[in-house]
């Protein structure tokens, strides 16, 4: 069984400030981990993914995340927030395996990021 916990349903930062969105996971097998972003009235867009290669993963729009097995964490960071980063962010986990296992995602509850001037 797998689960994801995102700490903080709302995070507010100033433009130019560090963005840190927290995600902790639980998995009985080595996980695949993902961050998705959802802008208003749009679908979920993949920001980045960890699939057991490098533990520091770089994604789109300047975001990156570090897989820390000892802490069961996969926090999302961006050094300098931009107004366009305002959206809802979802952390998700899946299990390695053939077929459709990769796409069977367990999501966290989401974190709404607000960026103010």
Residue 72 to residue 87: CA distance in whole angstroms: 25
Phi-psi region of 103 (alpha: psi -120 to 50; beta: other; left: phi over 0): alpha
Q: Please, which residue, 59 or 62, has the CB nearer to other proteins? A: 59
Task: Work out whether 117 is an interface residue with other proteins (CB under 8 A).
Answer: no
In the complex, the smallest distance separating the C-beta of residue 29 from other proteins, rounded to whole angstroms, is 13
Count of alpha carbons within 13 angstroms of residue 39, beta-carbon side? 8
Q: Please, which residue, 81 or 93, has the CB nearer to other proteins? A: 93
Task: Work out whether 31 is an interface residue with other proteins (CB under 8 A).
Answer: no
* Binding track over 43-82 against other proteins, x by CB under 8 A: xxxx--x-x-------------------------------
In the complex, the smallest distance separating the C-beta of residue 51 from other proteins, rounded to whole angstroms, is 5
Residue 49 to residue 37: CA distance in whole angstroms: 12
Residue 41 to residue 20: CA distance in whole angstroms: 24
User: Quick count: other Cβ atoms within 10 Å of Cβ 86?
Assistant: 17
Q: Which stretches of the chain bind other proteins, using CB under 8 A?
A: 32, 34, 36, 41-46, 49, 51, 90, 92, 96, 98-110
């Amino acid at each position: 069984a797998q689960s994801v916990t995102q700490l903080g349903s709302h995070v507010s930062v100033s433009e130019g400030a560090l963005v840190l969105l927290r995600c902790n996971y639980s998995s009985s097998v080595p996980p695949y981990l993902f961050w998705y972003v959802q802008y208003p009235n749009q679908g979920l867009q993949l920001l980045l993914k960890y699939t057991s290669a490098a533990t520091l993963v770089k994604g789109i729009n300047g975001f990156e995340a570090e897989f820390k097995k000892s802490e069961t964490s996969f926090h999302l960071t961006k050094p300098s927030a931009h107004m366009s980063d305002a959206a809802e962010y979802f952390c998700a986990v899946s299990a390695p395996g053939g077929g459709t296992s990769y796409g069977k995602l367990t999501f966290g509850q989401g974190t709404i990021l607000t960026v103010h001037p």
